[in-house]
C-alpha cells in the first residue's frame, strides 16, 4: 500500500475530511485516496491550510525577512500552529476485492488512516465511469472533475483512450449543457 | 419453398442502428451506430428491421446529420481542438436515417404466407440491418415465368424481379427525360413479355429501335433488336419498306393504310398536329355523312378546291373551314403508306399473328418524325385491333376462359400526343387506358412529359417505371396518388441519368430503385432467350424440344 498521508477527522457518507501529517504535503487536487475497512475511495476536492486554532487569526510577520523560507526558519512554531486539511468526495468502496461504484453504507471511522490509492485500485476504478455522475452532481467545481480524470489517466499505462472515453461519458452526463462540457474537455486536452 | 427468416441471419448482416422514433405516415427514424459512417449509406437502400414480433422491410428515404445538443454547431473548439473534436464526434453527433416501412415479412415464409404491406411500425430500439440479398429475393420473388429479372438494387447483386402477370393486367408506363434510357428499359420489358409468353405485344416503333437493331449511344455501339433475339416470336411490320431496305433491316410485312379506313375521329385526334380549328375538324363528321362512310376521304381529296368551296354551302359547312380541312388533309397524299385502297388487310394479318402468340413491331421508318403519320397510323390500327378484341371478348363471355383473347400489350412512344387532356377522351388509347383490363388490352406508355398526360389516364396506370425526371410538374404527375410520394420524390429527382430507374405500382411489392439489367452483350441476349428457370431437368428448353428428343430416342 502507498504512503500514509493523514487521518480522517470528519466523515459522512458523501465524503470525509483528512488532516495531513505534514504541513503543505497533501496529494494534488483530484487524486484518489482510500481509507478504512471496507476501503472507501475518495477524490480530493479541496485542500486547505489554516490555523489549528480558529480563534487565533494569522498575522503577517515576515516584513524583515529576506525570503519566505526564512519566515518558517525564524518561526519554527508555525509548523505546529498551522495544518493542511483536505476534503474528499466518496466515489466508491471495496469489500474483499469487489469494487463498487457509489456511496458506502457507512462513513469511515474518525482517525482512519488515509492512503494515496495505488495503481491496482485506480485501474479497477477506471473500468467504469459511474463515478463521474457522483462528482458532477456533488456540486463541486468542475475543475475537480478534470483534475481527477487527468490524475487517473497519468496512472494508466495508456491514458489517451481513457480520456476519450471519459469525454464521451461526460457528453452523456452533461447532455444539454454544452458550455460546461466544453470547459471540462478543454481542461482535459 | 420454406425460408426461415429468423434472427439467426442477423449476424451476417451489418447492423445500421436502432429505431428511435417515427410514425407510420411519415416514416421512422433510425439512430445510426457509431461504427457505421453516414457516407456509406445511400438513399434508396433497403433495410430490414427486426421488431419484437415481426420483421419489416423498408426503404431509406433520407440520411441526416444529428447532434444531441443544438449549441454544438456554434462552437469552434469542436473543429480547432483535435481532442474535443474526437470526443464530440463519437458521442454527441450521430447519423440518422429516415426509413419508410413498406412491408412486413412473416417469421417463416411458406407457400401461403407472403409479404404484406406494412400497417404498423417496429417498436422502439428495434435493430435495423441493411437488407441481405436473401431478404430482397424473398420480397421480389425468384426469377420464373411470371417474375422477370429487370435489374439489381443499387449496391447489390440480387435480382429484382417484376411480376409480369400484374404488369399486363393494367396499363403501365415508362417515364424519363430524353436520353435517360426509356427505350432500353422498354425493350427489356418487352423482352420480358416475349420471354414469359404471358401476353402478345404490339409495339409502335416510332424511331425503329425495337425490331431490328437499336442504338446504345453512350457506348457508341449497336444492340440487337427484339427480332434478332426472338427470331420466331417477333414479326416486324413496316410502313416504310424503302427505309427498311436502306437500313438493311429485315421486315416481314408491309403495312398500307387505305383512305377508306380513316374515320372522322382520326381527324379529331390530329387537330393539333394539323393545326385545324374545332369547326374544321368537326366538318369531317358532316363529310362522312354526306359523302358516305369509308368513301368520304377519298372523294373529298379528289375534289378541286373550287368544288369544295361550292359544295360547302350545300353541306352546311363553313367554306373557309372546308377549305383548310381539304388543304391539310391533302398532306395525306404525301404520306407513302397512305393509299386510296390498301393492298392487304394489315390489321387482319396483325391480329392473326397476335392471336397465335406472336409479337408485332410496327416500324415507322422515315415517318417516325412525321407526327401526323405516326398518330394517324397508331390510332387507326389500335382502334381496329381494339374493336376486334372487344368483339372476341364478348364472344368468349359465357364460354370457357380458354376462348378469351390472349392479353395484348400495346406499346406507344410519345404517348402524351394521344393522351393529353384535350384528346384523351377521343383517342382509342384514352379508352384502353380507362377501360383497363376488361378487354384484355392494356397500354405500355413511353413518354418524356408525364405532366402532359391526362390525369384520368395517369390514375389508371398500374405500374410506373420512372427514369430521371427533373421537371417538378413531371415528377408530381408521375408520383400522383402513390403512397409515400413525398419520400419517393427525393429519390426520383436524384436518379442517375443512366441505367437507373424507380419502379413502383402493381408489378412490384414496393417501390424499387434499380440499376437496369445488362442489355447489349452476347451473354445478356442468351440470358433473355434461355433464362435460368426455362431449362428443364433434361437440359432442354421447351416441351416441343422434349418431344423431339423422345422421338429421336425411339
Average the pLDDT over each of A83-87, A162-166, B194-198, B397-401 and give the range with the smallest value. Answer: B397-401
- Does B534 have pLDDT greater than 70? no
Most confident of A82-91, B71-80, B234-243, B431-440: A82-91
Q: Is the pLDDT of residue B424 over 90?
A: no
Cβ contact B86–A175 (<8 Å): no
C-alpha span between B460 and B503 (Å, rounded): 16
Instruction: Give the mutation candidate from A132, A153, A171 for the B interface (greatest B CB count, under 10 A).
Output: A171
> With 90 as the cut, is the pLDDT of residue B244 above it?
no
- Distance in Å, alpha carbon of B67 to nearest chain A alpha carbon: 10
User: What is the DSSP code (8-state) at residue B382?
Assistant: H
Chain B contact set for A188 (CB, 8 A): 83
CA distance A35 to A38: 8
- Shortest Cα distance, chain B CAs vs residue A50, angstroms: 38
- Residue A151 pLDDT > 90, yes or no? yes
Question: What's the rounded mean pLDDT across residues A171-181?
Answer: 89
**What stretches of chain A show up as alpha helix (H) in DSSP?**
68-74, 78-81, 119-125, 130-137, 142-155, 159-173, 178-188
**pLDDT confidence band for B3 (50 / 70 / 90):** very low
A-to-B residue pairs, Cβ atoms closer than 8 angstroms: 45
Between B107 and B1, name the one with better pLDDT.
Answer: B107
Determine the pLDDT at residue A36.
Answer: 85
Fold of B161-256+344-520: Rossmann fold (3.40.50)
Residue B491 has pLDDT above 90, yes or no: no
Q: Is pLDDT above 70 for B425?
A: yes
Residues of chain A found within 8 Å of residue B71, distances taken between Cβ atoms: 178-179
Residue contact A178–B69, C-beta within 8 A = yes
Predicted confidence at residue B436, as pLDDT, reads: 57
Residue with grid cell 406507344, as numbered in its chain: B412
A185: contact with B, CB 8 A cutoff: yes
Instruction: Determine contact: B71 vs chain A, CB below 8 A.
Output: yes
The pLDDT confidence band at residue B348, using thresholds 50, 70 and 90, is confident
Neighbours of A37 (CB within 10 A): 11
End-to-end CA distance of chain B: 37
Q: Which residues contact A53 (CB under 8 A, 6 or more apart)?
A: A81
pLDDT at B536: 52
Over the stretch B36-70, which tens digit does the pLDDT of each residue have?
888 988 887 889 999 888 889 988 888 999 988 88
Whether ipTM exceeds 0.90:
no
Confidence tier at A15 by pLDDT (50, 70, 90): very high
Which of B407, B408, B372, B420 is closest to B239 using CA atoms? B372
- Per DSSP, what are the bridge partners of residue B216? B221
* Mean local confidence (pLDDT), B535-550: 59
C-alpha cell at B32: 445510426
Residues A83-107, mean pLDDT to the nearest whole number: 89
CA distance A10 to A113: 12
Q: CA-to-CA distance for B49 and B57, rounded, in angstroms?
A: 6
Compute the average pLDDT of residues B68-85. Answer: 80
Q: Kindly state the average pLDDT of the residues B424-428.
A: 75
pLDDT at res. B437: 64
Amino acid at each position: 500500500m502507498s504512503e500514509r498521508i493523514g487521518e480522517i477527522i470528519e466523515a459522512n457518507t458523501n465524503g470525509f475530511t483528512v488532516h495531513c501529517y505534514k504541513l503543505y504535503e497533501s496529494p494534488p487536487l483530484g487524486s484518489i485516496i482510500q481509507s478504512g475497512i471496507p476501503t472507501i475511495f475518495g477524490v480530493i476536492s479541496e485542500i486547505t491550510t489554516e490555523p489549528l486554532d480558529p480563534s487565533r487569526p494569522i498575522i503577517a510577520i515576515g516584513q524583515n525577512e529576506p525570503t519566505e523560507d526564512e519566515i518558517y526558519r525564524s518561526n519554527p512554531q508555525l509548523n505546529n500552529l498551522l495544518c493542511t486539511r483536505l476534503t474528499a468526495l466518496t466515489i466508491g468502496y471495496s469489500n474483499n476485492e469487489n469494487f463498487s461504484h457509489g456511496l458506502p453504507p457507512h462513513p469511515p471511522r474518525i482517525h482512519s488512516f488515509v492512503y494515496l490509492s495505488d495503481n491496482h485500485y485506480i485501474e479497477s476504478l477506471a473500468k467504469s465511469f459511474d463515478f463521474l455522475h457522483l462528482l458532477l452532481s456533488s456540486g463541486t467545481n468542475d475543475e475537480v472533475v478534470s483534475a481527477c480524470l487527468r490524475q487517473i489517466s497519468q496512472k494508466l499505462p495508456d491514458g489517451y483512450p481513457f480520456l476519450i472515453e471519459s469525454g464521451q461519458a461526460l457528453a452523456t452526463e452533461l447532455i444539454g449543457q454544452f458550455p460546461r462540457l466544453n470547459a471540462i474537455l478543454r481542461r482535459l486536452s | 419453398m420454406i425460408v426461415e427468416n429468423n434472427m439467426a441471419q442477423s449476424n451476417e448482416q451489418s447492423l445500421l442502428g436502432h429505431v428511435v422514433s417515427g410514425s407510420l405516415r411519415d416514416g421512422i427514424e433510425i439512430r445510426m451506430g457509431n461504427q457505421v459512417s453516414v457516407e456509406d449509406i445511400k438513399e434508396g437502400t433497403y433495410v430490414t428491421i427486426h421488431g419484437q414480433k415481426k420483421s419489416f422491410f423498408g426503404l431509406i428515404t433520407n440520411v441526416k446529420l444529428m447532434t444531441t445538443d443544438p449549441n454544438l454547431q456554434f462552437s469552434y473548439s469542436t473543429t480547432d481542438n483535435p481532442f474535443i473534436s474526437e470526443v464530440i464526434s463519437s458521442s454527441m453527433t450521430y447519423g440518422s436515417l429516415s426509413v419508410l416501412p413498406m412491408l412486413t415479412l412473416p417469421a417463416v415464409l411458406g407457400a401461403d404466407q407472403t409479404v404484406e404491406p406494412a400497417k404498423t411500425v417496429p417498436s422502439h430500439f428495434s435493430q435495423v440491418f441493411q437488407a441481405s440479398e436473401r431478404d430482397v429475393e424473398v420480397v421480389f420473388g425468384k426469377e420464373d415465368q411470371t417474375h422477370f429479372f429487370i435489374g439489381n438494387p443499387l449496391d447489390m447483386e440480387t435480382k429484382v424481379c417484376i411480376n409480369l402477370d400484374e404488369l399486363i393486367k393494367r396499363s403501365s408506363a415508362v417515364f424519363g427525360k430524353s436520353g435517360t434510357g426509356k427505350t432500353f428499359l422498354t425493350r427489356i420489358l418487352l423482352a420480358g413479355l416475349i420471354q414469359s409468353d404471358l401476353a402478345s405485344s404490339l409495339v409502335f416503333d416510332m424511331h425503329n429501335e425495337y425490331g431490328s437493331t437499336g442504338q446504345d449511344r453512350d457506348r457508341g455501339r449497336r444492340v440487337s433488336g427484339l427480332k434478332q433475339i426472338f427470331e420466331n416470336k417477333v414479326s416486324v411490320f413496316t410502313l416504310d419498306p424503302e427505309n427498311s431496305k436502306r437500313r438493311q433491316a429485315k421486315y416481314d410485312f408491309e403495312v398500307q393504310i387505305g383512305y377508306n379506313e380513316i374515320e372522322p375521329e382520326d381527324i379529331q385526334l390530329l387537330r393539333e398536329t394539323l393545326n385545324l380549328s374545332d369547326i374544321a375538324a368537326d366538318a369531317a363528321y358532316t363529310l362522312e355523312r354526306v359523302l358516305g362512310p369509308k368513301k368520304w376521304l377519298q372523294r373529298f381529296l379528289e375534289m378541286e378546291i373550287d368544288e369544295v368551296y361550292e359544295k360547302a354551302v350545300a353541306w352546311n359547312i363553313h367554306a373557309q373551314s372546308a377549305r383548310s380541312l381539304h388543304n391539310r388533309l391533302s398532306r395525306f397524299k404525301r404520306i407513302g403508306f397512305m393509299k386510296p385502297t390498301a393492298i392487304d388487310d394489315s390489321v387482319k394479318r396483325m391480329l392473326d399473328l397476335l392471336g397465335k402468340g406472336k409479337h408485332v413491331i410496327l416500324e415507322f421508318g422515315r415517318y417516325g418524325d412525321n407526327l401526323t403519320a405516326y398518330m394517324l397510323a397508331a390510332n387507326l390500327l389500335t382502334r381496329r385491333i381494339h374493336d376486334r378484341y372487344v368483339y372476341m371478348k364478348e364472344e368468349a363471355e359465357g364460354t370457357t376462359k380458354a376462348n378469351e383473347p390472349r392479353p395484348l400489350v400495346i406499346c406507344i412512344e410519345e404517348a402524351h400526343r394521344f393522351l393529353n387532356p384535350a384528346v384523351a377522351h377521343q383517342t382509342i388509347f384514352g379508352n384502353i387506358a380507362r377501360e383497363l383490363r376488361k378487354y384484355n388490352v392494356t397500354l405500355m406508355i413511353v413518354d418524356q412529359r408525364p405532366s402532359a398526360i391526362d390525369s384520368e389516364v395517369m390514375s389508371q396506370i398500374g405500374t410506373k417505371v420512372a427514369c430521371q425526371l427533373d421537371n417538378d410538374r413531371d415528377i408530381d404527375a408521375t408520383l400522383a396518388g402513390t403512397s409515400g410520394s413525398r419520400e419517393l420524390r427525393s429519390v426520383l429527382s436524384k436518379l442517375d441519368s443512366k441505367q437507373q430507374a424507380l419502379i413502383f405500382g402493381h408489378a412490384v411489392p414496393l417501390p424499387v430503385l434499380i440499376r437496369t439489367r445488362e442489355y447489349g452483350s452476347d451473354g445478356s441476349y442468351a440470358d433473355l432467350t434461355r433464362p435460368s428457370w426455362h431449362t428443364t431437368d433434361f437440359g432442354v428448353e421447351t416441351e416441343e424440344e422434349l418431344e423431339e428428343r423422345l422421338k429421336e430416342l425411339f
